[in-house]
Amino acid sequence: MSSRASQLDPFACSIQDNTTTRRNFLKQIRGTAAVTLASTAVTSASSAKADPGPVSDVDRDDIERVLDSYENRVQAARAETKIPVPRQITNADERRYPNFIGNFSKGLPHNSLGEVDRNAYLSLLRHCARVGGMRSKR
């Protein structure tokens, strides 16, 4: 069993502790996952009436595998954040078709022919431009 798995205390952060950071919260979830895995491994072994044998060794291996898998996912997510989002290029359909017939308009009001309400679509574009502009200033 690695020292990493033995050092985790899933109940380290009390409910009354208002200083819990995101990192502590994730560590707590990680520890809780290990405890959950251990308890389900014991439960499934006893329900199958299997030979108890070295259950604790199996539990440690399973916990390590879960923790390693978690670490891999976290590392992959961090690596993904370093990949830049490519610039989105418009196909100019909004200028080409004045009724916006080729554009996504689900959730907006439409007329009896199924064409989007022009004012509603233009309002959506203004909002997207405003939110997009706010994101680029961060």
Taking only the tens place, the pLDDT of each residue in 65-81 is 999 999 999 999 999 99
Mean local confidence (pLDDT), 38-54: 54
- Residue 99 pLDDT > 70: yes
In a domain? residue 28: yes
pLDDT of residue 58: 60
In a domain? residue 10: yes
Q: How far is it, in rounded angstroms, from Cα 36 to Cα 121?
A: 49
With cut-offs at 50, 70 and 90, classify the pLDDT of residue 131: confident
Pair 12, 49 in one domain? yes
pLDDT of residue 54: 55
pLDDT of residue 60: 80
Tokens of 48: 């199958």
The domain tally of the chain equals 2
pTM: 0.38
Pair 77, 99 in one domain? no
Pair 77, 120 in one domain? no
Percentage of the chain lying above the pLDDT 90 cut: 29
- Residue 103 pLDDT > 60: yes
Convert the pLDDT of each residue in 3-39 to its tens digit: 444 444 444 444 444 566 777 766 667 666 666 666 6
Pair 74, 123 in one domain? no
Pair 8, 76 in one domain? yes
DSSP state of 127: H
Which domain range does residue 25 map to?
3-81
Tokens of 57: 């060794």
Q: How far is it, in rounded angstroms, from Cα 111 to Cα 125?
A: 19
- Residue 34 has a CB neighbour count (10 Å cut-off) of 22
Pair 30, 98 in one domain? no
